[in-house]
Amino acid sequence: MSDQGKKTGGCLCGAVRFEVEEPVADFGACHCSMCRKWAGGPLLATHNTPNVKFTGEENLGRYQSSDWAERGFCKVCGSNLFYHLIPDGEYFMMTGAFDDDSGLAMVSQVFIDEKPDGYAFANETQNMTGAEIFAMFAPEGGDDIQS
């Protein structure tokens, strides 16, 4: 994994901007039904990014899609910006929202067991099922978890 430095990005209309404070080099695809519904296809997002600075936060909408996660979007243009794990404070930023997404490498696919048959990525990636992801990220004692 190479050091790509800080990355900036934002929504389509520019009302919300962000800066990721640590290097970002990897991203993954989520095939769960909720992400596909939200993104209109597989969701492509960076891995565990805890330190994100936002500007234009008055235009930032947050939708709590489960007890442990929320999804962020621009309230002006509707651009999807992030998936946020509430207990850990980690952000998964949409790769398409970065000003420059060159140098990002796709390294994983999650909820591979929910991926529709109609598409496949050629990249060799680490693949995890929904059950494996829930076991990794679920809060302790949580038994009714959704994406």
Higher pLDDT, 146 or 29: 29
Q: How far apart (Å, rounded) are the C-alpha atoms in residues 8 and 21?
A: 9
Measured CA angle at 89 (ends 88, 92), to 5 deg: 105
The reported pTM is 0.85
CATH 3.60.150.10 fits 7-137, yes or no: no
Largest separation between any pair of C-alpha atoms in the chain:
41
pLDDT of 20? 93
pLDDT value at 119 more than 80: yes
User: For residue 4, which of 102, 123, 92 has the smallest C-alpha distance?
Assistant: 102
Strands 26-30 and 105-110: parallel
Say if residues 47 and 92 touch (Cβ distance below 8 Å).
yes
Domain boundaries along the sequence of the chain? 7-137
pLDDT of 127? 96
pLDDT value at 141 more than 80: no
pLDDT of 145? 46
Question: Is residue 118 very low, low, confident or very high in pLDDT (cuts 50, 70, 90)?
Answer: very high
pLDDT value at 144 more than 50: no
Q: Please, what is the average pLDDT of the chain?
A: 89
3-state secondary structure the chain: CCCCCCEEEECCCCCCEEEECCCCCEEEEECCHHHHHHHCCCEEEECCECCEEEECHHHEEEEECCCCEEEEEECCCCCEEEEEECCCCEEEEEHHHECCCCCCEEEEEECHHHCCCCCCCCCCCEEECHHHHHHHHCCCCCCCCCC
